[in-house]
Amino acid sequence: MAALKLLLVDDEAEFLEPTAARLARRQVACTTVEGGAAALAALAKERFDCAVVDVKMPGMDGLELLRHIRGEYPEVAVVLLTGHASVELGVQGIDLGAFEYLMKPVDLDELLDTARRAAAHKALG
Amino acid sequence: MPDPGPNPYLRLRRQMFFGLLTTGLVPLVAMGVAGFVANRDSVEQRTRAGLEAMIKNRKVTVELFLEQTLRQLEILSAHGVAELSDPVTLAKLRDYARREHGALLDLGLIDDHGRHVAYAGPYDLMQVNYRNEAWFQQVMLHGQYQSDVFLGFRRFPHLVIAVKKPEAGHDFILRATVDSDLLSALVREGGLESGADVFILNRAAEYQTSYLDKHKLMARADTDAIPRHSGTRLVEVRRGQCREIMATSWLRGEQWVLVARQELPGVSALVFAHPAVPAVFLLGILLVPILAYLIARHRFRQVRSLESERAALYASVSQTQKMATIGRMAASIAHEINNPLAIIHAQVGALADSLEDVDLPHSQDLRQRIQKIEAQVERGRKVTHRLLGFSRRVGPDAESIDVAAALDETVGFLEKEVEAEHIGIVRQYDLNAPIVRSSLAQMQQVFLNLINNAVDSVNEVDRKGEIRLSIYARHDGVEVRIADNGAGIAPHNLGRLFEPFFSTKAGKDDHTGLGLSICQEIMRGLGGRITVESTQGVGTTFALRFPLDIESDRGDATTPPERSS
């Protein structure tokens, strides 16, 4: 399997840093950005297999970022991540084209597994 | 929900009753009064007509009698004075007249000096001189005469008729006494209706006819003198409590007046003339309040039942709204906690990773401590996920539900209370119980209410509390039984258990008496039902039946993927 290239988007640096470190230990190339705008900038520079996006962020929120990715980088799979869960939000995210919907705090292995499946699904699709 | 109190209800009921009473009684009484007045008028009309007919008839009879009597005397006076002067002949003539007409009691021939020439009759009058009597002068002047009833020399009430008989240059008078009893009998001939009276008065309103001891001859009648008038006159007079119609008609010569009176029936006589009428009226008067009472009671119960339903619905809606609000709050709190939990989780994960690279003297101990932190993060996560799960399920949408899982989750909410009170939870689940489609939030609200009640109930008794939860597969759904070994419910309270605002938990601040009525409403809404069995001192069992699929026309079968733990 080709090396997975992951974009991790969250407004909490305290969450991004240790998560990225842990993924790096597992040989997963991971770029972290704080916020939707920074994510779009990163996507413009580099190609990613999967973006893991926090739903609730100041400025551009996760769902808006999802719309941008679907429109501008359709080859990038999206997994939503949030501390807030509701049926409406989940349905909305899936309707907008997210592959999955995970709740914080998420187990690292589950996150990685989901991201891999999302990327594989996109590659097949 | 403000308590409306019993008074507005009672007032409403009273208003209904009096409203119906008035509606019923007013037309009944109005018809009764109108009927009474019409009947009274008709009776009066008949009385007037009857009196008028009678007085005309009697007038003819009496006038005929008096005329015949006078005519007879005139015929007798055709005999010569010589004949009439002979007492034997006079007696024969008198006897003949009595046989013919019967009215003449005696017969006398009087000369122009007022002395009896001859007399035939029962009295001794030969020595009497009439020269100074008024009637004597009248006969001499007018040729004939009819007296009122008087006592005269005979000391006996009678009336006198006399005719003048001029012969041989002298004026004689043939005079007869008429039996006034005959006149009295004639006036009342053929009998009278009850309350009727008929008699003859003279100009001074003195009786000229007698009847038992009611009318005494020559006594003054209890009426004013009757003014002279022609034809028949009808007047209404009041005598004491009675009203009567009086008909008067002056007899020929206007010396006597014929009077007929008829009492009008009094109020009670009119009312009871036809006993069926007042009986029906009275029955109506009695029935109207009874019917008014029954209808008011029925309507009142309907109103109160509607009011109760409305209150239950309101309570149910407000409860649902409350749960939704709690759900939204819970979701927002969970979110705020989940983010720091995620950071702790990530940081501790990174720390654990780092420990793998270095060999510290206490790395084993550190790893154990990190695991403990991770376990606590996991615990926190479970709590927030459960809160989020709870909030997410607030809503009427049907979903597929494993009843056993739903029941266990609800018990989880009450874990602390159950543990604190050392209550034993016994589960008896049929593993073949089918998945049902229903509203999880509403199903769990019912479970929560019933388990809460069970906890309260077992806390009331001294023995160790036990709550038994059973699930049974039924052909048309799932049955859940929630049984406690608490105080039980008194049989007389059992029937009212599901009524809104009914409570056996006296003195509890937060107790509204709505819990079970909400449960019943919810079960109805879910197409199921709730029943209760209880033995005082032994315990209470609530049985819930859920259908396989909620009877719903909401066609949205889209169930979002299950994502929470």
Residue B506 lies in a domain: yes
* Average pLDDT value for residue range B141-159: 84
Residue B320 lies in a domain: no
Residue B6 lies in a domain: no
Q: DSSP label at B117?
A: E
Q: Say if the Cβ atoms of A83 and B338 lie within 8 Å.
A: yes
The domain spanning residue B458 has which CATH number?
3.30.565.10
pLDDT of residue B182: 85
Q: Do residues A102 and A114 make contact, with C-beta atoms less than 8 angstroms apart?
A: yes
Instruction: Give the list of residues 6+ apart from residue B358 with CB closer than 8 angstroms, or none.
Output: none
* The model's pTM: 0.47
pLDDT digits 0-9 by tens, B101-123:
778 888 999 998 999 999 998 88
Which residue among A21, A84, A101 sits closest to B350, beta carbon to beta carbon? A21
pLDDT of residue A87: 56
Residue B435 lies in a domain: yes
* Average pLDDT value for residue range B281-295: 91
* Average pLDDT value for residue range B149-154: 78
Question: Do strands B196-202 and B144-146 pair parallel, antiparallel, or not at all (unpaired)?
Answer: unpaired
In this predicted structure, which of B83-92, B93-102, B452-461, B501-510 has the lowest mean pLDDT? B501-510
Closest C-alpha among A56, A101, A50, A57 to residue A78: A50
Q: How confident is the model at residue B464 (pLDDT cuts 50, 70, 90)?
A: confident
Instruction: Give the list of residues 6+ apart from residue B206 with CB closer than 8 angstroms, or none.
Output: B148, B149, B218, B219, B220, B221
In this predicted structure, which of B283-297, B310-324, B444-458 has the lowest mean pLDDT? B310-324
Tokens of B45: 């009309």
pLDDT of residue B250: 94
Which residue among B339, B347, B560 sits closest to A104, beta carbon to beta carbon? B339
**Burial grade of B531 (CB within 10 A; 0-12, 13-18, 19 or more):** middle
Task: Provide the edge-to-edge strand list for the sheet that holds B116-120.
Answer: B116-120, B104-110, B170-178, B159-167, B144-146
In this predicted structure, which of B342-351, B403-412, B499-508 has the lowest mean pLDDT? B499-508
Residue B224 lies in a domain: no
259-278 in chain B: CB under 8 A from chain A: none
Residue B537 lies in a domain: yes
Q: Say if the Cβ atoms of A105 and B350 lie within 8 Å.
A: no
pLDDT digits 0-9 by tens, B58-87:
999 999 999 988 898 999 999 988 889 998
Tokens of A18: 């240790």
Q: Is the pLDDT of residue B363 over 80?
A: yes
pLDDT of residue A2: 62
Residue B136 lies in a domain: no
Residue B167 lies in a domain: no
Number of domains in chain B: 1
Q: Taking the CA of residue A29 as centre, how many other CA atoms within 13 Å lie in the half-sphere pointing to its CB?
A: 9
Residue whose tokens read 């770029």 = A31
Q: What is the ipTM of this complex?
A: 0.91
- Partners of B350 on chain A (C-beta within 8 Å) are 17-19, 21-22
Domain hosting residue B531, numbered range: 395-565
Sign, CA torsion B316/B318/B320/B326: negative
pLDDT digits 0-9 by tens, B154-209:
777 788 899 999 988 888 999 998 888 888 888 888 778 788 889 999 998 999 98
Q: pLDDT over 70 for what percent of chain B?
A: 91
Please, where are the H alpha helices in chain A? 13-25, 36-45, 62-72, 87-95, 108-124
Please, where are the H alpha helices in B77-106? 81-85, 87-100
Alpha carbon distance B106, B3 (integer Å): 105
pLDDT of residue B563: 36
Cis, peptide link before residue A105, omega less than 30° from 0:
yes
- Partners of A91 on chain B (C-beta within 8 Å) are 558, 560
pLDDT digits 0-9 by tens, B310-322:
888 887 777 667 7
pLDDT of residue B388: 67
B364 touching A (Cβ < 8 Å): no
In sequence order, what are the beta bridge partners of B116?
A: B110
A interface mutation test: which of B328, B332, B335, B336 has the most A CBs within 10 A? B335
- Mean pLDDT, all residues of chain B: 84
pLDDT of residue B513: 62
pLDDT digits 0-9 by tens, A35-90:
999 999 999 999 999 999 998 889 998 999 999 999 999 999 999 988 765 556 77
pLDDT digits 0-9 by tens, B480-501:
999 999 988 888 888 778 876 6
Q: Say if the Cβ atoms of A90 and B563 lie within 8 Å.
A: yes
pLDDT of residue A85: 58
Instruction: Give the list of residues 6+ apart from residue B311 with CB closer than 8 angstroms, or none.
Output: B1, B500, B501
Q: Which has more confidence, B380 or B7?
A: B380
Alpha carbon distance B6, B1 (integer Å): 15
Q: Which has more confidence, B286 or B239?
A: B286
pLDDT of residue A88: 63
